[in-house]
Structure 1
């Protein structure tokens, strides 16, 4: 026990004579000082052993979350896409000067862009007049062209408005005019934009009583959640499907017992009666 006390006392003495190293703390400079703070190894008694000095560079106060130049991209593919999108907005052939003045696309400054636009499958280039024109999926140049195409496809159902969008620059105006004249039928989205266009066969236009039309438009289909309640109020019942099995419950398989014959492979046990107790013979 005395040996343990002596060892403990010696350890405490050595611990008390160990040097104490204070953590270096960097004090902030005055509020009017600008620039980042750097620390060096030269001792400074006023700053707990740490040398502090100021950078000569001024700190920038402007911070941008994105580049200041937010215009069109400078990559060749971006310029090609901008040129094609511009040609979609006009039905008239565009020369190099027209594209530079109206579309802000300078083909003279980018010879590579000129070649890519000339060879693009969605663009037609006229060698004689040196003009570009967009090649749409459907050739529609007027309101009557749109009506004739819908009439031609009357037995194929309606046409998707998105498929016709790049065919005619004045397509929205043509659709509204034909719909107002009763020559086509338009199925619209919730926001009122056209979705599907149909040719309207005038032979099936039947005059409806104004009172009946008012009642028809006044009726609203209930939501799917409220539909069973509305049917019950009207004295109608909805189909019910009963599932006998619980959700996620797998059917149990019937276990089949099989009588398997065991084959004895130990030939050295052949001839022994295993039904009798084994007795060691002395």
Structure 2
């Protein structure tokens, strides 16, 4: 036997005596077959399944708002259940049965007489006894863009605009219809400064046409207008004085009237109060309208 064969036999004997019970010295086989060592054979099937299947790390929720209380459902309070039922009927524009409202909102509105009476007596709930259906009374009643424009025109003629939020509650597609009307030049819209959301809508009485005028102002003039800054009161008075101008009478301070009356003018001296003499038996001897000083006091 050559030296190479003796070294190979010695290496095999060392490997045979090696303990593979530790997972550091015996990694799992690549082909997925079970290990042939006694320690691996003695392991339970559950341990083998846990070692073969890697654990999945759950990703933490990123949309949790910890400052807001968790929504625990409709609750047990009658008023809380009433709010859930009214809000659900408000979100739907179709009449509903009481049993359907109870199922969708998970409230005992069909079995609890107190809750049912409160629901019927709500000022925004309309009950039709003929059909036994409930519906929500929205502030506006329109379902298309033409009816929406008519409502905006009616409100603008009264001297005001309409809140886009209130219009959206009556018709979900109201914001999209308002944006279309704005592009057509039918309405004027005010938006929030922060995110540019629709806020108020007004009817545009002057249409942007060549005959009637009413064209939109160019961006250059808009930028110039918004770049102007109104000075404070002190600087404004200085600039008016430098231009030879004065403050208008409405803005000027009204001088206060003098409290004391000057002598020599008519009506300036206070009128003396007449003293009523009651001791008539002393009349002719002592002048009761005068003040007397007793000597020694």
Alpha-carbon distance change, 270 to 119 in structure 1, aligned in 2, over 3 angstroms: closer
The aligned counterpart of 2:200 is 196
Measured against aligned partners, the alpha-carbon deviations of 1:150-185 in whole angstroms (never above 9, x if no partner) come to 234443233331654543244333333322333211
Paired with 1:94 and 1:168, the residues of 2 have a C-alpha distance of 18
Per-residue deviation at 1:265? 0.7
The farther-off stretch of 155-164 and 221-230 is 221-230
Paired with 2:213 and 2:127, the residues of 1 have a C-alpha distance of 45
1:217 partnered with 2:219: no
1:75 partnered with 2:81: no
1:258 partnered with 2:272: yes
Q: 1:89 touches 1:169 (CA, 8 Å); kept in 2?
A: no
Paired with 2:186 and 2:271, the residues of 1 have a C-alpha distance of 76
Paired with 2:107 and 2:140, the residues of 1 have a C-alpha distance of 26
Q: Counterparts in 2 of 1:132-171, with a 5 A limit?
A: 132-161=134-163, 164=167, 166-171=169-174
Coordinate RMSD, CA, aligned: 4.0
Per-residue deviation at 1:136? 1.5
The aligned counterpart of 1:113 is 115
SS in 1 for 2:135: strand
Alpha-carbon distance change, 69 to 182 in structure 1, aligned in 2, over 3 angstroms: closer
Alpha-carbon distance change, 273 to 94 in structure 1, aligned in 2, over 3 angstroms: closer
Unpaired runs of 5+ residues, structure 2, are 1-68, 262-267, 288-297
SS in 2 for 1:107: coil
Q: Counterparts in 2 of 1:19-30, with a 5 A limit?
A: none
- Give 1:182's match in structure 2, choosing from 180, 185, 199: 185
Unpaired runs of 5+ residues, structure 1, are 1-66, 275-282
Paired with 2:155 and 2:141, the residues of 1 have a C-alpha distance of 14
Per-residue deviation at 1:229? 4.2
Measured against aligned partners, the alpha-carbon deviations of 1:210-255 in whole angstroms (never above 9, x if no partner) come to 4xx322234225256279449939958462514433xxx8723555
Paired with 2:189 and 2:213, the residues of 1 have a C-alpha distance of 15
Paired with 1:93 and 1:121, the residues of 2 have a C-alpha distance of 16
Q: 1:91 touches 1:169 (CA, 8 Å); kept in 2?
A: no
Q: 1:90 touches 1:169 (CA, 8 Å); kept in 2?
A: no
